[in-house]
């Protein structure tokens, strides 16, 4: 019976990448590559590698577990189980010259590379959803908020564009992280390669070439953990971006705001006691799981400073933080994409919130208008500050307070002032920013306008 939520509630395609069966398969793949390298260099008899390769297909996890119970060493249990399946001659050359982490760390690189491919797919899917919403809401004017207070107008398209650019940066980071983690080693107990003899470099290169990895230029008994910490930190960054999006959804879904809401099924239950509730539980779940991934990054950083040529303090926690971080991040990406794609907007509430402060949010624009008419910028700022306080105190619209001020009447005509209070005309370059983001990011994903153009050409 499973006790971890990553095996049940939050399980996904990466569970199969990190399960014990695939871990064993990856170990055996490295052992096989080592055998082929030894044979190519004449270290072992002809056909030894093919015999070991065939035997590797017959190794069962159950048998490895049985041996591990006896010897209390998981990697050596695999070595013995593989040797059992080999013809007598070939079995003598299994694991020749290698230390455990020549196999384990090289196999971890294979697992991470495959897992990063899934994370990259999830990022692309989320990016596509964000760009779709940016295009759809390019001109949806809403109130901007800073410090939790109404600031000046912007558009929902700009919000989605900001998030899309952040996701794209993560896609770029994936490339760097993949390069840094796609390394293996055959360097022995302390990194000297002594057990592999004079042609150790050639042997290491042959192993890595067969596995599609690069050889780490210098190691101790292990691949240095800054590489793994980089990947886990990247997963934490991705989770934090999803948390940022989910937190904004949660805040905008507050009853007193309710400008938008995460998707809610027709038969979905919000509360066991309050039937009316529409809780943003999907977004809250994203925020909750992001904390776990972020905490795992701290552990990965702690693993960098091992003692001398290595100690074992990284090993136990990596069995937890590696699969947990990847599986949860993949789940978080899937959930966030679902939230973004299914958002429900409430235009009447968006319009209501734009007018909630009775014109106060246009004070900046009026200040700049007055400065453009010849009033000093600081004088205009003070005038608008005083007028805003008066509007609040007397429960008036800021526009009415300003219309009654002779200092403004001398510079600005009533019609001009009226026009300056139209929020939809004070969104700066927001629509053009959205267009620029779409142009830059849509084409690599083959979606939106770029995708439609290509499809049209095919027809």
Hey, which residues are catalytic here?
147, 271
Helix 100-136 to helix 226-252 angle, to the nearest 10 degrees?
A: 30
- DSSP H helices, 196-314, are 200-211, 226-252, 281-302
CA distance 333 to 319: 22
CA neighbor of 76 nearest in space, from 116, 56, 103: 103
CA-CA distances (angstroms) from residue 208 to 30, 77, 98, 110, 275? 9, 23, 14, 11, 59
DSSP letter assigned to residue 255 = T
User: Six-digit token pair at 260?
Assistant: 């938008």
Q: What is the DSSP string of 142-193?
A: EEEEETTEEEEEEEHHHHHHHHHHHHHHHHHHHHHHHHHH-EE---TTTSS-
Residue 214: strand pairing partners: 183
3-state secondary structure of 115: helix
């Amino acid at each position: 019976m499973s006790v971890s939520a990553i095996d049940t509630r939050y399980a996904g395609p990466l569970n199969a990448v990190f399960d014990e069966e695939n871990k064993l398969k990856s170990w055996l793949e490295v052992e096989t590559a080592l055998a082929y390298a030894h044979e190519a260099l004449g270290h072992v008899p002809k056909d030894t590698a093919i015999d070991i390769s065939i035997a590797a297909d017959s190794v069962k996890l159950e048998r490895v577990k049985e041996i591990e119970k006896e010897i209390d060493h998981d990697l050596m249990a695999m070595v013995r189980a593989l040797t059992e399946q080999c013809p007598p001659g070939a079995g003598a050359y299994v694991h020749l010259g290698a230390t455990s982490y020549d196999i384990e760390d090289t196999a971890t690189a294979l697992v991470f590379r495959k897992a990063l491919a899934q994370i990259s797919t999830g990022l692309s899917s989320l990016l596509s959803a964000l760009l779709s919403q940016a295009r759809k809401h390019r001109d949806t004017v809403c109130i901007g908020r800073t410090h939790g207070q109404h600031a000046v107008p912007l558009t929902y398209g700009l919000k989605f564009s900001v998030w899309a650019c952040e996701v794209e940066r993560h896609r770029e980071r994936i490339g760097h992280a993949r390069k840094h983690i796609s390394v293996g080693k055959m360097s022995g107990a302390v990194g000297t390669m002594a057990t592999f003899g004079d042609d150790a470099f050639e042997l290491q290169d042959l192993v890595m070439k067969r596995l599609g990895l690069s050889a780490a230029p210098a190691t101790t008994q292990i691949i240095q953990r800054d590489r793994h910490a980089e990947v886990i930190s990247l997963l934490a960054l991705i989770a934090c971006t999803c948390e940022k999006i989910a937190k904004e959804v949660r805040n905008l879904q507050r009853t007193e705001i309710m400008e938008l809401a995460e998707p809610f099924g027709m038969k979905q239950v919000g509360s066991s006691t309050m039937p009316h509730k529409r809780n943003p539980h999907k977004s809250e779940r994203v925020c909750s799981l992001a904390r776990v991934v972020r905490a795992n990054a701290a552990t990965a950083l702690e693993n960098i400073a091992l003692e001398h040529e290595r100690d074992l303090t990284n090993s136990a926690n990596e069995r937890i933080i590696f699969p947990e971080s990847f599986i949860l991040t993949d789940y978080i990406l899937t959930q966030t994409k679902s939230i973004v794609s299914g958002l429900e907007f409430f235009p009447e509430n968006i319009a209501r919130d734009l007018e909630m402060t009775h014109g106060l949010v246009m004070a900046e624009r009026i200040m700049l208008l007055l400065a453009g008419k010849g009033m000093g910028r600081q004088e205009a700022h003070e005038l608008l500050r005083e007028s805003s306080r008066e509007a609040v105190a007397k429960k008036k619209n800021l526009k009415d307070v300003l219309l009654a001020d002779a200092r403004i009447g001398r510079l600005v005509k009533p019609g001009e002032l009226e026009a300056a209070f139209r929020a939809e005309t004070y969104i700066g370059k927001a629509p053009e920013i959205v267009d620029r983001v779409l142009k830059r990011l849509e084409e690599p994903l083959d979606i939106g306008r770029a995708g439609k153009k290509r499809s049209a050409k095919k027809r």
